[in-house]
């Protein structure tokens, strides 16, 4: 277990803060326009860099949004879900702790529709996560990763070279 992971019994959020977070959550989830969605998610505490695109219906952790960092020029496509906590043990055994573990999406990473990113994961710079992938482990820089669980299948630069060659034909 790496040192950034924490075990807590509960995430304490006051009633008014919860209400406020909910308001920004809905705007961040379904608000018209990227600027509004980015603004709303920042207000909830998500760390978001410059020139980030957050499509509609992107879910970013509701319990600990401040544990999610999205660096510059990242794109999150429609339906992406990001979780920075895991309460599966506590949900069944209330005396068990919740796991909190930060998520980091590095510069220029592109996350395709409906990908799910679990707690503790880092996605590398300029990497692409394929549609419907389940990312439960770190993904290195400059790869294309797909599947459940997500695994790198290609080097991004080689895939790009092949793509540009095919576009010339």
Ligand X SMILES: CC(C)(COP(=O)(O)OP(=O)(O)OC[C@H]1O[C@@H](n2cnc3c(N)ncnc32)[C@H](O)[C@@H]1OP(=O)(O)O)[C@@H](O)C(=O)NCCC(=O)NCCS
Residue ranges binding ligand X (CB under 6 A): 77, 112-113, 128, 130-132, 144, 146-147, 153-154, 159
40/112 with CB nearer ligand X: 112
**Cβ density class 64-90: b for 16+ within 10 Å, e for less:** bbebbbbbebbbbbebbbbbbbbbeeb
E-only strand ranges, the chain? 6-8, 47-48, 53-54, 59-60, 68-70, 75-76, 81-82, 85-86, 98-100, 103-105, 110-111, 116-117, 122-123, 128-129, 134-135, 143-146, 151-155
13/134 with CB nearer ligand X: 134
Minimum CB separation from ligand X for residue 131, in Å? 4
53/89 with CB nearer ligand X: 53
Minimum CB separation from ligand X for residue 55, in Å? 8
How many residues are there in the chain? 169
Map residue 137 onto helix, strand or coil: coil
45/147 with CB nearer ligand X: 147
Q: How far apart are CA 118 and CA 64, in angstroms?
A: 13
Minimum CB separation from ligand X for residue 154, in Å? 6
Minimum CB separation from ligand X for residue 130, in Å? 3
101/110 with CB nearer ligand X: 110
Minimum CB separation from ligand X for residue 17, in Å? 34
Q: What is the CA radius of gyration of the chain?
A: 17
């Amino acid at each position: 277990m790496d040192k950034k992971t924490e075990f807590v019994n509960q995430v304490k959020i006051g009633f008014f803060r919860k209400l406020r977070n909910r308001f920004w959550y809905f705007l961040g989830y379904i608000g018209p326009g990227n600027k509004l969605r980015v603004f709303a998610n920042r207000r909830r505490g998500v760390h978001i860099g410059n020139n980030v695109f957050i499509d509609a219906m992107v879910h970013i952790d509701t319990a600990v949004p401040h544990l999610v960092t999205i660096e510059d020029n990242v794109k999150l496509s429609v339906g992406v879900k990001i979780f920075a906590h895991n309460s599966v043990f506590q949900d069944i055994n209330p005396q068990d702790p919740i796991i909190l573990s930060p998520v980091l999406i590095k510069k220029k990473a592109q996350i395709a529709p409906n990908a799910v990113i679990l707690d503790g994961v880092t996605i590398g710079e300029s990497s692409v996560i394929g549609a419907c992938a389940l990312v439960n482990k770190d993904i290195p820089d400059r790869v294309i990763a797909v599947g459940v669980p997500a695994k790198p299948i290609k080097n991004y630069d080689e895939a790009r070279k092949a793509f540009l060659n095919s576009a010339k034909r």
